[in-house]
A and B are shown apart, each in its own frame.
Chain A
Amino acid sequence: MKVGILYSRIRRDEKLLLSELRDRGHDVEKIDVRKHQFSLDGTTAPVDDLDLVVDRCLATSRSLYASRFLDSYGVPVVNGPETADVCADKAKNSLALQKAGVPTPKTDVAFTKESALESIEKFGYPCVLKPVVGSWGRLMAKIDTRDAAEAILEHKATLGHYEHKVFYIQEFVDKPGRDIRVVATDGEPVAAMVRTSDHWLTNAAKGATTLEFTVGDRARELVQKASDAVGGGLLGVDLMEVGVPRDAEAEPGEPIDGADYTVHEVNHTVEFKALNDASEVDVPARVVDWLESKAESDAEAEVTA
């Protein structure tokens, strides 16, 4: 297949993908979105002969617009712009999960410091304040006291741009020291890892230790539902174990007995280098398997149309 890779930075994730695609003899067109224009009726990006474009833009804003423009030209792009739109914004993400009946942490959105403080006081302490757009655990606040709430809200309202004045407030889930990342293709788990940290933030980007995780039936069910909720694609579904004590333990990489899950986020330009290192699964190979099947089914759909 002829596949385009939208990027503005080639991370190790993109290198793994490129390597797998080239090893299989696919024609790969790297498209640096910083170098192109996207007009209403076409683009300078070389997409005309491509079977599929894979959005690997590091910058969420570029991912959103590039995928939207390509889709408007009829270029098959994964992930699609609707999925990108829902996943890029935590509020939209939470709404989609809620609507689909996927258990997700209780969340409020408020637009003034005063109404946000009311919400925080209703949740009680601790609770969590997150930016609606952001990744890698940045700008997340665990709010332990009213004094802290007032200070953080003041800072966000005064120093941040308008998006920071959309206050996304969430219950604090007292998870057992870890969370779970499942990379899935159209809801089918590819590989999973548990991310453990003494810190309340358990992003791999923040230094959490990682270990391959066994996805059981319940987690599998929720990953499928969460993926469907946002429109499917190559996704990173983040889950936390609930209903068990904070110090509950399990065999390494296994679910905790008796735990259920809450899904706190679905990521649409998912990184997988840490997962690939942690897992026995060849993650880039499984991703390319899926890309091949997508390109094939898109081609068949064209023929029958």
Chain B
Amino acid sequence: MTETECPECGATVSLHDDLEVGEIVDCGTCGAELEVIDVNPPVLDRAPELEEDWGE
């Protein structure tokens, strides 16, 4: 388990071990949806918002 800072609110975000670049995690404090930009060290950024053509 690693930790990093939420880019939105600065709170600590706990991250699981099998983190993957491109994965989405939620900040437990502010609820922001965050994208994993890098894993070593972990870096998060605000995830892109839902677009109309997303899905399957």
Q: Which residues of A contact B (CB under 8 A)?
A: 7-11, 14-15, 18-19, 30, 32, 58-61, 131, 133-136, 138-139, 205, 236, 267-271
Contacts and interface: CB of A to CB of B under 8 A. Distances in A.
Nearest to A18: B20
A47 to B, nearest CB: 17
Given A9-B48, A139-B52, 19 more contacts: A8-B22, A9-B22, A10-B22, A10-B24, A10-B36, A14-B20, A15-B23, A18-B20, A30-B21, A30-B22, A58-B55, A134-B52, A135-B53, A136-B54, A138-B52, A205-B55, A236-B56, A268-B56, A269-B56
- Top 10 closest pairs, chain A to chain B, by CB: A135-B55, A10-B22, A60-B53, A267-B56, A10-B23, A136-B55, A271-B56, A10-B20, A61-B53, A270-B56
Interface string B8-24: 00000000001011111
26 contacts: A8-B48, A9-B22, A9-B23, A9-B35, A9-B47, A9-B48, A10-B23, A10-B24, A10-B36, A15-B20, A15-B23, A30-B22, A32-B21, A32-B22, A58-B54, A58-B55, A59-B51, A59-B53, A60-B53, A131-B52, A133-B53, A134-B55, A135-B53, A236-B56, A267-B56, A269-B56
A235 to B, nearest CB: 10
Interface of B: 18, 20-24, 35-36, 47-48, 51-56
Contact of A9 (B18, B24, B52, B56): B24
Nearest to A160: B52
A59 B18 CA distance: 24
Contacts of B52: 131, 133-134, 138-139
A305 B41 CA distance: 47
A116 to B, nearest CB: 20
Contacts of A131: 52
A30 B39 CA distance: 14
Contacts of A136: 54-56
Contacts of B56: 135-136, 236, 267-271
A281 B9 CA distance: 41
A54 to B, nearest CB: 14
B55 A60 contact: yes
B53 A7 contact: no
A134 B53 contact: yes
A240 B52 CA distance: 25
A269 B48 CA distance: 19
Contact of B22 (A7, A60, A135): A7
Nearest to A88: B53
A59 B48 CA distance: 11
Contacts of A32: 21-22
Contacts of B23: 9-10, 15
